[in-house]
Amino acid sequence: MKQKEFNYKIVGEKSLKSWDGKTYDYYIEKSETFGKSHPSLAEFVKKNHYLKTIPRGNKVIYSLYYLGELCGVAAFSYPTGVKVISKYGQVLELKRFVLRNDLPKNSESFFLSICLNDIKKTYTKVKLKGVISYADPSKGHEGTIYKAANFNFIGKQSSQTMGLVFKGEIFRSNLLYQDTKTGYKLRRLKEQGRAKFVTMPKKNIYLYNFGGK
């Protein structure tokens, strides 16, 4: 399904109530934080994303509303790894991308494409080269959505990480040290010997190049 078949409007922060008299199935709101003014965004990500956490250091956050209800969030920030910038240039990283499962077909690629186009138009002074993202095979994510949005597969992470397994579910070891419900749960399971360390599969890396190459 092409973008033009979706009836949408992108708006700025806190302007969802500024209706223009038209009817839109989709509204996309743009903000810069998960802060106190947007508690519903943080709650949505924690409830629906497999990591159950919100990322830090966000540059821009897009929230998708379908028929008036929050149904998706995409959070972009600068990469935390120094090697990412030196290897791929000035890019943003897609830290969180999550939508409800009951949305119309192709909603994921539609939403992501709108976000990418807006970033490309908005952040011209920064001279961004593109957006990088990672797909975690341990969670069944191979990168299908990224391929549909014209990302290029550029390889796998070079470093090998460890994870914890409990009742067949795999958690990345960095969650163990976070001050979250998941982190607390994993620490208890590890202390009790109920969660075991395993070698994690390397994440797939995808790059969306604003230069079109």
State mean pLDDT over 192-199: 83
CB atoms closer than 10 angstroms to residue 37: 10
Which strands, in side-by-side order, build the sheet including 130-135? Answer: 8-11, 26-31, 58-66, 69-77, 91-99, 130-135, 204-209, 152-156
**Distance between CA atoms of 23 and 150, rounded to whole angstroms?**
29
Whole-number pLDDT of residue 11: 57
Looking at residue 123, which CATH number applies to its domain? 3.40.630.30
Span 45-89, pLDDT tens digits:
888 887 777 777 778 899 988 877 889 999 999 887 778 888 888
The reply to whether 178 falls in a domain is no
The reply to whether 187 falls in a domain is no
Q: Which of 33, 114, 34 is nearest to 66 (CA)?
A: 114
Percent of the chain with pLDDT over 90: 21
The reply to whether 131 falls in a domain is yes
Span 97-150, pLDDT tens digits:
999 988 888 888 888 998 999 999 887 767 889 999 999 887 788 899 999 899
Q: Check if the beta carbon of residue 29 is closer than 8 Å to that of residue 68.
A: no
Question: Structurally, how many domains does the chain consist of?
Answer: 1
Containing structural domain, residue 33: 3-156+202-209
The reply to whether 110 falls in a domain is yes
